[in-house]
A = this chain, B = another copy of it.
Amino acid sequence: MAKNIKLSVDAMGGDAAPAIVMDGLVEARLRYPHVKYLVYGREAEITPYLDKHPSLKHCCEIRHCDDVITGDQKVSQAIRQGRNSSMWNAINAVKIGDAHGVVSAGNTGALMAMAKLSMRTLPGIDRPAICSLFPNQVSETTMLDLGANAQCDVHNLVEFAVMGACFTRALKGIEKPRVGLLNIGSEDLKGTDLLRDAAEILRESDLDMDFVGFVEGDDIMLGSVDVVVTDGFTGNVSLKTAEGAAKLYTEFLRSAFKSSLMAKLGYLLIKPVLSKVMARLDPRKYNGALFVGINGVAVKSHGGTDAIGFANALGVAVDMVDRDLNSSIGEQITHLNFVATESTQATKTA
C-alpha cells in the first residue's frame, strides 16, 4: 500500500456538487486514511462541510477557485474561459506535481480536453480512452473506449488494447488478461480491414496479454474476456444500452414485487439475497472511469452519483497512482509491432 498519495478533487463538478463530493471525501477518508486531498472550488461553499465533518480538516486543503465548468458548457468555451475554474486547477495540480491524480464528476468532454491539454498523453499513445468496468457473471469486464473517440484508427484500437490490459493487470493482478476486439456476428462482416489489421498487430506483438481475437456484445457481460476493446461510439452506446437494460429489469421487478399481497410477502423473504444481487449490479460500484493514456491519473465520476459512488471514483484514482499504471503502459507500448500494417482507416466518421 502506498505512502503519501495526494489527489486533487474538483469539488464543483456533478449534479449535486459540492455536497456529494464532500460527503464522498468523508467516506474516502475512512477507506483510505493515508490519502490527502486538494479540494478545488468555491471556498464559501466548501467550508461548511469541513465544519460539519471535522475529520476532513486533517486530510483536505481547500484551494479557492471562482469559476465552475457547467455540464452543458461547450468544450471549446470551457478551454478558453476556464482557467479560473475548479476543474482546470484540479487538473493542473497534477501537471505541476502538487497532486498524483485528479477526480471530477463534471463535464466529461471538458475534463478530457483539459486533461489532454494540461497533462498531455503518454509517450507512444496517440489518444486517451475512457476505461471502466462492467459487471459480468464471474467478476468484472474492463471496457474501453466508452466515449472519448467516436472515430478510431487501427493504432488507436491497438493502443486501447494495451492500455486495457495494463489497467486490468494493475487493478486485479491478472498477469495476462484475456483481451477481445468487439465485432459483430456475421461471418462476412467479421474482420473488416480495420479490425483485422488491429487483430493482426495484437497477435504479432509480444504483449502481456492473451489476445483472443473477436468478441461480440454479449461477451461483455458474460465475462468471456477480461478486456473488451472498441471505438468510443460503439463503447458508449453499449454502456448506455446496458444501463437501460438494468433500469428496465429493476423497474419491472420493483413493480412486480408491489403488485399483490403475496408478492409483497415474498419480497420480504427474498430481500436479503436480492440486496446482494443488487449490490453486485449497483452502478455506484462501477463508478470512476479512468482516462487511460493521459500522462497522469485522471478519473471521471458519474455526475449523478452519490457519496459512495464518488468515494469509489476516488478509489480508482488511489489504485492507479498506487500501482503505477502509466509505467506499465509505457513499457508495454514499446512491444507493439506496428510494421505489419499501414491501415489508418477510421472506424466511424459518425
Contact = CB atoms under 8 A, between A and B. Distances in A.
Interface of A: 72, 74-76, 108-109, 135-137, 147, 150, 182-189, 192-195, 216-222, 230-234, 236-249, 251-253, 256-257, 259-260, 262-263, 265-274, 276-277, 280-281, 345-350
B256 A262 contact: no
B262 A269 contact: yes
A182 B237 contact: yes
Contacts of A244: 217-222, 242
A248 B147 CA distance: 23
B277 A253 contact: yes
B273 A263 contact: yes
B236 A238 contact: no
A321 B48 CA distance: 68
Nearest to A189: B150
A228 to B, nearest CB: 10
Contact of A192 (B147, B216, B219, B349): B349
Given A192-B350, A237-B230, A186 B218 contact: no
A195 to B, nearest CB: 5
Nearest to A345: B349
Given A137-B247, A266-B271, 10 more contacts: A109-B188, A137-B248, A147-B185, A195-B350, A221-B248, A242-B242, A260-B273, A262-B269, A263-B273, A348-B350
Given A184-B236, A188-B75, A277-B256, A248 B194 contact: no
B217 A241 contact: yes
A45 B95 CA distance: 72
Contacts of A268: 266
A193 B346 CA distance: 14
Given A75-B188, A188-B74, A274 B247 contact: no
